[in-house]
Structure 1
Amino acid sequence: MLAFMGVVLLAAMVPGPDFIIVTHHAAVSGRRAGVAAGLGIASGVFVWAVVAALGVASLLAASAIAFTVVKLIGAVYLGYLGLKALIGAWRRGEKVQVKAQFTATGAGVAFRQGLVTNLLNPKCAVFFVALMPQFLSSTPHVGETLLLSALAVLVSAVWFSVLANLVGLLKRFFTSPKVRKVLDSVTGTILVAFGIKIALD
């Protein structure tokens, strides 16, 4: 179990779309929104872990058509989030607009974006398809599968909560209009780049 948790932790710590989503929400809307985004990602991890253990995700990994469909949907979604951030940066300038954006991005929105971002990343399916069988018996029972899935959720939730709290401590700095404009520009560019990369992989 410790080895499994270590592998999941290392995978979660690698900067990617999940990392960017949590960092952005924590920096712009505070620790609560950042943690909510992290919990959304952890919920997506639970889904992928369970379906991988049950063999459903292996069908996605084995089917070129299914994998491509999920990949392209995920790429479009990341591109959408990236463009939304870029448009926000271009329109930035009035303090009122900044405050309106803050109130619009609540914990519910952050959770949903974290969940959808993770579920639309087919690399998560491939990761768990490759990982889960290494830690399950040849004839795994439901309890064993749920235990490993719960551990994956726990590790992901703890890591992204720690990340959100660390970034959230600097919220006052990140909410400066000039800094917010730079943050939105960088975040948007990275998310669009991730979307393009996923589409072209």
Structure 2
Amino acid sequence: MRRDRVSGQLWAFIGACLAVIVVPGPDLALLLRNAAVAGRSAASATACGIMTGNTILATAAVAGLTALLQASGPLYNGLRLVGAAYLIYLGVRALIDLTRRRPAPAEPQSVPVAPALPGRLAFRQGLLSNLLNPKVAAFYLALFPQFSLPGMPTLAQHTLLAGLFCLLSLIWYVLLIAVLGRVQTWLQRRTVQRSITGASAAALITLGTGLALQG
């Protein structure tokens, strides 16, 4: 009976995680934008940064640090505003890049992607996008208490759930990067690059503005 309950809780947790991971947000918008601008390698570096941020926040949640962050109103709001400003900054930079990359009429529609975004910068963007979003930390804080695994201490439960969430996130990004690799030629088309960059810029600015205006 206990084993069935544990299994049910784990499957419910996996379902909740998948719903959160797959829903588009600033991390996905940034990754797609970097993939369109600089190709699969930049997307991979961005995903590594996002996963590093996820791991740091999961560890902080297990240690109880996210609870302290949310309990401190000024600190939480300060992080929220910094994160919002960073998302808006990324969106504006994407729009600036979009206007600078306007092709001439005689320019070919498909060209090799230039290494315009170094891997180190893409990694840092992914890391900061994840870490500076207090909603991610609040998600860890709100999600873990909703699931209970009978027969396990609280610390062990939260460690297992955090590890499972990070594993599912890793699988998602590996699959996403693999798909981007398959459509690399399509991503190299200038019309596609401009469309993805424009949509991602609008998403980042919208998400950043929404985060800034949160109560």
The TM-score normalised by the length of structure 2 is 0.81
Alignment correspondent of 1:43 = 52
2:91 corresponds to 1:75 = no
Structure 2 distance, partners of 1:132, 1:108, is 32
* Cα RMSD (Å): 2.5
Structure 2 distance, partners of 1:8, 1:117, is 19
> Residue 117 of structure 1 is aligned with which of 98, 114, 129?
129
2:184 corresponds to 1:184 = no
Aligned residues: 198
Structure 1 distance, partners of 2:49, 2:11, is 23
1:56 to partner: Cα distance: 1.0
Unpaired segments of 5 or more residues in structure 2? 1-9
Moved over 4 A (4+): 98-101, 136-139
Cα contact 1:41–1:156 (8 A) shared by 2: no
Cα contact 1:49–1:132 (8 A) shared by 2: no
- SS where residue 102 of structure 1 aligns? coil
User: Mapping of 1:97-176 within 5 angstroms?
Assistant: 102-135=114-147, 139-141=153-155, 144-176=157-189
User: Mapping of 1:59-74 within 5 angstroms?
Assistant: 59-74=68-83
2:41 corresponds to 1:22 = no
1:152 to partner: Cα distance: 1.6
More helix by share: 1
Larger displacement relative to structure 2 (69-78 or 171-180): 171-180
Structure 1 distance, partners of 2:112, 2:35, is 16
The TM-score normalised by the length of structure 1 is 0.86
Quick one: which amino acid aligns to residue 183 of structure 2?
L
Structure 2 distance, partners of 1:169, 1:107, is 20
Bigger Cα Rg = 2
Unpaired segments of 5 or more residues in structure 1? none
